[in-house]
Amino acid sequence: MRLLSGTSSGGVIEQPFTVDEVPGVLWTPKDARGTRPLILMGHGGGEHKRAPGILARARRFAAEGGFAVAAIDVPHHGERPTGEEFDRLAAEYRARAAVGEDTAALDTALYRLVVGRTVADWRAVLTALQRLDHVGAGPVGYWGVSLGCALGMPFTAAEPRVRAAVLGLQGSPVLAGTAARITVPVRFLVQWDDELMPREQSLALFDALGSADKTLHANPGKHGDLPWFEPEDSLRFFTRHLG
């Protein structure tokens, strides 16, 4: 692992890192020492580790919750190399979504291209982060919606170190079997008028989750309209389960 000393602002240190070829960012409270809960944050499709939503939540979770927070670029996103097939499918996805056509098959194809690699990346990054003095081997949470949920579900199902997850904006039937293997507490976010995920499919994916402790939060609005109070609620959810 290569970890830069980073920059400080508003009581939060932001440190870029790489684990093998995976670029990431770690946020911790200023002057943090010793073990603390760690939240891994998965970005959405077409986004990257420092997308505005990731950045705002990460800084808030570190400053207000005292958490360590980390994000990585998933394959073919951010600073990682592009991939010809991925880029072709992603361009087709954007074109179809823009005119309101069904994107389910493309969604599944894009997911299959990156899922195996992403789960392995997150596991390696988690192991490296937990060796740091100011992170340590404390309880771990995962936060990711949309593509961040599609990739976070198999990671959460496979990785016993993850003890709670905020997921959602996702309803792909290809994830149902994976969802059933998740048993940790889950907060599942649904946008009631999501133009990319049919409502029935999103509700079915919540239904498929194996967790006894799972809560659906649904709000009016489209895929990108998640209200400001949901990240605030997520912070309390993680504090309850990891704090």
- Binding of a second copy at residue 203 (CB under 8 A)? yes
- Binding of a second copy at residue 195 (CB under 8 A)? no
- Binding of a second copy at residue 219 (CB under 8 A)? yes
Q: Binding a second copy by CB under 8 A: which of 192, 198, 224, 225?
A: 192
Nearer to a second copy, 1 or 216 (CB): 216
- Binding of a second copy at residue 233 (CB under 8 A)? yes
Q: Binding a second copy by CB under 8 A: which of 145, 151, 214, 234?
A: 214
Alpha helices (runs of H) in 30-103, residue ranges in sequence order: 52-65, 84-98
Q: Binding a second copy by CB under 8 A: which of 218, 223, 231, 239?
A: 218
Nearer to a second copy, 80 or 187 (CB): 187
Which tokens go with 102? 């069904």
Give just the sign of the alpha carbon dihedral 157, 179, 38, 79.
Answer: positive
Binding span for a second copy by CB under 8 A among 2-10, 51-59, 90-98, 216-224? 216-224
Under 8 Å between Cβ of 170 and 151: no
- Binding of a second copy at residue 238 (CB under 8 A)? no
Q: DSSP assignment of 109-162, as one string?
A: HHHHHHHHHHHHHHHHHHHHHTTSTTT-S--EEEEE-THHHHHHHHHHHH-TTE
Q: State which H helix or E strand residue 72 sits in.
A: strand 68-72
Residues that bind a second copy (CB under 8 A): 190, 192, 203, 206-207, 212-220, 227, 229, 233, 240
